[in-house]
Amino acid sequence: MDQKQFIKQLLDFQKTTFDNSFNAMVLLQEQTEKASKTLLDQMTWLPVDSRKANDQWVAAYKKGCEDFKALVDENFSKAEALFVGGASGHKTKKAGVQKEAPSKKAN
């Protein structure tokens, strides 16, 4: 089996595993948010500021999850480019350096 193909399959498997785990976490968070919202709505004695604090916490959590997901997706793309797509580009770079070195010696 070709190493590039193996690494591509490995990265695809890891990305799929991450995506599935992340989606499960998001579903759990959404269910928890619904349950806490229902509970807070039933607590009429709770100050409005506490409800706002909860809403801000949920918004911050969602933003953090979105940022984390975007970062992981970006790094999976970089890893794929480095190990799968970048391998041929890496050889070209080395060849370019080798070509430059003799020309510098000639000057």
Whole-model pTM above 0.85?
Answer: no
pLDDT class for 86, splitting at 50, 70, 90?
A: low
From CA 100, how far away is CA 43, in angstroms rounded?
74
Q: Is the pLDDT confidence value at 81 over 80?
A: yes
- Give the pLDDT confidence of 21-59 residue by residue, as tens digits: 999 999 999 999 999 889 988 888 888 888 888 899 999
Residues 6+ apart with CB under 8 A from 87: 4
HEC readout, 20-52: HHHHHHHHHHHHHHHHHHHHHHHCCCCCHHHHH
Residue length, the chain? 107
What percentage of residues in the chain have a pLDDT greater than 90?
Answer: 51
